[in-house]
């Protein structure tokens, strides 16, 4: 039985990393594989070469690509209109679901635990509005405007009355 050094896996991981990088560089040059690395376990080298050759990129259909390109062009045109009109384009009125944007501190940790939380339902409101064919961009902008608009006391009172809330105590 051979004694394995405690840092052997880390060293081997570094060797694999170096070898995979050489495969990528070789591919950029048009070569089939990277330089031969005698220190690397032949089993790892073999499976790396196999995955490099067989894990292929899956392409979307041309029809989908063009449809989404048109949609993005429409959104881009709609984004240009407020800017051209001199309106504020700050983040406060942008209907972007912040929970889906990368957060250097929190997002990675949150998504890292996705397997633990898989199965819990989570509302997906504004993103749904963005991507839904049924709701237009104008509709999403209207919702964002409504949410960002200060509510006057009369409207507040009407809403409370509608929900059966006592205007003085705030209790239902």
Partner 1 sequence: MARPVFRKVRTEEDRRLVHLDLDRALVEAALRDPAAFDPLYRKYLAQVYSYAYYELGSHADAEDVAERTFLLALAALPRFSERARPADGEGASTFRVWLFQIARNVVANQRRTERRHLRAVIEAAALVADPLDLEADSSRHHEGQAAWAAVGRLPADRRRALVLRFVEEMSTAEIAGVLGRSEGAVRVLIHRGLRAVARDLGGRRW
Distance in Å, CB of 79 to partner 1, minimum: 4
Name which of residues 120 to 149 contact partner 1 (CB under 8 A): 120-122, 124, 127, 130-131
Could you say whether residue 75 binds partner 1 (CB under 8 A)?
yes
Out of 55, 138, 151, 154, the only residue in the binding site for partner 1 (CB under 8 A) is: 55
Query: Closest CB to partner 1 among 96 and 167?
Result: 96
Query: Closest CB to partner 1 among 68 and 157?
Result: 68
Could you say whether residue 48 binds partner 1 (CB under 8 A)?
yes
Out of 72, 125, 147, 167, the only residue in the binding site for partner 1 (CB under 8 A) is: 72
Could you say whether residue 86 binds partner 1 (CB under 8 A)?
no
Could you say whether residue 69 binds partner 1 (CB under 8 A)?
yes
Could you say whether residue 56 binds partner 1 (CB under 8 A)?
yes
For residue 146, give Cα distances in angstroms to 65, 126, 143: 33, 13, 5
Query: Closest CB to partner 1 among 90 and 164?
Result: 90
């Amino acid at each position: 039985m051979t004694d394995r050094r405690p840092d052997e896996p880390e060293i081997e991981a570094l060797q694999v990393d170096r070898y995979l990088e050489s495969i990528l560089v070789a591919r950029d040059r048009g070569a089939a594989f990277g330089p031969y690395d005698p220190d690397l376990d032949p089993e790892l080298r073999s499976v790396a070469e196999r995955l490099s050759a067989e894990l292929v990129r899956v392409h979307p259909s041309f029809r989908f690509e063009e449809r989404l390109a048109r949609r993005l062009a429409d959104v881009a045109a709609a984004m240009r209109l407020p800017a051209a009109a001199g309106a504020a384009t700050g983040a406060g009125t942008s209907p972007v679901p912040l929970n889906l944007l990368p957060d250097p501190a929190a997002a990675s940790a949150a998504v890292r635990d996705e397997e633990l939380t898989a199965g819990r339902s989570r509302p997906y409101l504004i993103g749904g509005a963005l991507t839904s064919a049924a709701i237009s961009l104008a509709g999403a902008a209207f919702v964002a405007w409504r949410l960002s608009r200060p509510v006057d006391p009369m409207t507040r009172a009407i809403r409370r009355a509608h929900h059966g809330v006592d205007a003085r105590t705030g209790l239902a």
